[in-house]
A = this chain, B = another copy of it.
């Protein structure tokens, strides 16, 4: 299929590369930043532009993969096209397209994507939504070519999936970052933690996270918790320690 990407960030980059590999023809990359557009365009042998008025009108799919805040504005400035319009955002309802186009949908890849890290697209669950059965069929075919894990999910539910992903990935990664900082401050190599981090993730393939919980907070081991809080300099991280510990203990009482 002929595809135009609107956006050149992490998701657009991985999706464009995967689509190109799958034999699709990436016609064009649009980005507000000419440099970013050019950079991704080179990777997938596409044209590029930083003007919406120059968008190629002959693609079969237009993939909007830009910051949620600006999607509405970009849509209102898009030239009329024939092709299917889809976005890749977890939290934006599909009907954002309604005022602007008649065939549209969503393809939300549930994964943490960084430009610097290659990823096997076949391991990414893709969540699709479509505004009519024909679009759904087309989107199912496109998504199925990229990954064997394709689920249909409606906007209402997708936003909870996205919120859960923020906790399970973005917030988890921040916990790693805080741990890394604490170790760096004390000249302890971060890789000492890797077996623990791997086991923490592996464990919940077998146990529910509520059952997998260990540590001072669930034992309500106040001495340890107070000693920990004393070790933390940053008041914001201190507060986080306290709040997460309280939340762990509260969750344990609910069981």
User: Which residues from chain A sit less than 8 Å from chain B, CB to CB?
Assistant: 10, 67-69, 89, 91, 110-114, 116-117, 119, 123-125, 149, 151, 153, 157, 159-183, 185-188, 190, 192-201, 203-219, 221-224, 227-228, 231-232, 236-237, 239-241, 243-244, 246-248, 250-251
Contact = CB atoms under 8 A, between A and B. Distances in A.
A167 B163 contact: no
B192 A69 contact: no
A112 B169 contact: no
B237 A192 contact: no
Given A10-B214, A170-B248, A176 B209 contact: yes
B240 A159 contact: no
A36 to B, nearest CB: 14
12 contacts: A166-B216, A166-B241, A167-B182, A168-B197, A170-B218, A171-B175, A172-B200, A172-B201, A173-B203, A174-B251, A177-B248, A236-B247
B248 A214 contact: no
Nearest to A176: B209
B111 A196 contact: yes
A185 B208 CA distance: 15
Count of chain copies = 2
A228 to B, nearest CB: 5
A177 B253 CA distance: 13
A169 B215 CA distance: 8
Given A91-B224, A173-B213, A193-B110, A168 B200 contact: yes
Which of A89, A167, A181, A239 is the most central at the interface, judged by chain B CB atoms within 10 Å of its CB? A167
Contact of A180 (B186, B198, B208, B246): B208
Contacts of A168: 175-176, 179, 193, 196-197, 200
A247 B91 CA distance: 21
A19 to B, nearest CB: 19
Given A175-B168, A182-B163, A117 B207 contact: yes
Given A192-B125, A193-B165, A237-B247, A114 B221 contact: no
B196 A179 contact: no
Contacts of A208: 180, 190
Contacts of A231: 159-160, 163
